[in-house]
Amino acid sequence: MRKKIIAGNWKMNYTLTKAEDFVSEIKNSINTDEVDVVLCPNFVSLDRVSDLIEDTNIKLGAQNVYFEDKGAYTGETSVDMLVAANVKYCIVGHSERREYFKETNEDVNLKARKLLEKDIRPIVCVGETLEQRDAMKAFDVVEEQVRNSLKDISKDDIKDKVVIAYEPIWAIGTGVTATSEQAEEMCKFIREVVAKMYNEYIADFVRIQYGGSVKPSNASEILNMPNIDGALVGGASLTNDFAAIVNFD
Ligand code: PGA
């Protein structure tokens, strides 16, 4: 039985003080061990949020990382820096990073592998644009992203550590959610791709989240689908709605 994982991706929101206020306000209502709850604040707030959630089951996540160990990479953050800040999960390949910062599947793969070396669990994002879906290319695009982003990752790491987030780009921040059937169909397909890359036994362990306009009103329906093992939540993770999502029925 796969444990659900619900992660809040704050993106570029909340200054340090706002992050502190919000976590203090919400932490008791999202402190559960029935699902894995992950908060992904901006780098500047990681350390403070880590302190605030120390006495809870909530885990800390980052939104990005760089794949080099250290050196002259102005503006970048290494895996060791995340380890030192108590980060347990890290989002890689979010569609906003792919689009605005031109991240490729190869970058995503290097980042995921570097995180795994230091035992941070990557949340690897994949998902198609509306044009690709309309052109009936969604499955091909997602398969290519999954295959290339997870290239050369060991069986054990895939089975126990990697989380995949299916985030159709047309559903992110738009208020338009994929129907639970569309989300389930793609998450099931992703599991089949993982089974082809590794085997069915391993694919059965991999947690696959859905992300894209998840809110309290649609969370239960989505999260009760058989191949959807959690949610990556953007906008709704910035308010009390996140607690309602975490406490879905
Ligand atoms: P959204 O974002 O929930 O605001 O649609 C999801 C995401 O980008 O991870």
pLDDT averaged over 10-residue windows placed end to end, the chain, 249 residues: 96 98 97 97 98 98 98 98 98 97 98 98 97 96 98 98 97 88 98 98 98 96 98 98 97
Ligand 1 touching residue 237 (CB < 6 A): no
Q: Report pLDDT for 171.
A: 92
Beta-carbon neighbour count of residue 46 at 10 Å? 24
- The residue whose C-alpha atom lies closest to atom 9 belonging to ligand 1 is 234
Interval between CA 216 and ligand 1 midpoint (Å): 13
Ligand 1 touching residue 203 (CB < 6 A): no
pTM for the complete prediction?
0.97
Q: Report pLDDT for 173.
A: 83
Catalytic residue among 94, 103, 128, 184: 94
What is the C-alpha separation between 207 and 159, in angstroms, rounded? 9
What is the C-alpha separation between 18 and 239, in angstroms, rounded? 12
Interval between CA 201 and ligand 1 midpoint (Å): 30
Ligand 1 touching residue 38 (CB < 6 A): no
DSSP string, the chain: -PPPEEEEE--S---HHHHHHHHHHHGGGG--SSSEEEEE--HHHHHHHHHHTTTSS-EEEES---SS-SSS-TT---HHHHHHTT--EEEES-HHHHHHS---HHHHHHHHHHHHHTTPEEEEEE---HHHHHTT-HHHHHHHHHHHHTTT--HHHHHHT-EEEE--GGGSSSSPPPPHHHHHHHHHHHHHHHHHHS-HHHHTT-EEEEESS--HHHHHHHHTSTT--EEEESGGGGSTHHHHHHT--
Catalytic residue among 96, 103, 128, 167: 167
What is the C-alpha separation between 26 and 93, in angstroms, rounded? 27
Instruction: Indicate if 167 belongs to the active site.
Output: yes
Q: Which atom of ligand 1 is found nearest the CA of 171?
A: 5
Q: Which atom of ligand 1 is found nearest the CA of 232?
A: 9
- The residue whose C-alpha atom lies closest to atom 6 belonging to ligand 1 is 234
Ligand 1 touching residue 167 (CB < 6 A): yes
Interval between CA 211 and ligand 1 midpoint (Å): 6
Q: Report pLDDT for 114.
A: 98
